[in-house]
Amino acid sequence: MLDELNFLWARYSTEPYLEIKSTELRLASRRFQAKYFVTPPVQPTGEVRMLSNIEIHYGWQCQVNADWVRELDFTLKPLSLRQLQLEALRETLCGADFPYLWWFHKSKNPKIRTVYEDNLGVSFIKLDGVWQVVYSCKKLGSLVGSQGSTNYESIPANAYFVVVENESVVHC
């Protein structure tokens, strides 16, 4: 699988995306199931453990890829995040513009929140007393691309983001 991922990434990261040419593939985690990130639970499942205080940035779903991702049946074919990454890169060969399922935007003044992780490996923060899913760019690898920076691959190493419904909220 790694060979195929690297081959597909090499094909994607050339024309017309010269700004990411020669960038290394950020591998998504093979430990976590993709369904919990594509359609996350509304609250933690099972035991919750506190991780640490981190900066929270914003992100949104990449609408161009939302359709084919919604068509995946995770009950028939459970996928890890890395397997989903392979599917996303394959989609770029079939005409998809990007392998990214989410866009990340580095906030100018990020909020600091405590991150919790549940039994499924999904990360949460509490905002105004309500659990909200927070995504780890490290776990997602190249399933998340950067907006508002020099190129799609310039993401801080251990960044986290909360998905907002509307991209315009991020730019306010």
Q: What is the pLDDT of residue 64?
A: 85
Whether 22 contacts 125, CB under 8 Å: no
Q: Which pLDDT score is estimated for 169?
A: 65
| pLDDT for the residue numbered 97 | 83
Longest Cα separation, the chain: 46
Angle at 7 between CA 98 and CA 64, to 5 degrees: 10
**What's the pLDDT tens digit per position in 66-84?**
888 888 888 888 999 999 9
What is the number of structural domains in the chain? 1
pLDDT beneath 70, residues of the chain = 15-19, 166-172
- How many Å apart are CA 34 and CA 121, to the nearest integer? 10
pLDDT per position as a tens digit, 42-54? 999 999 999 999 9
144: three-class secondary structure by DSSP:
strand
Domain that holds residue 132: 2-170
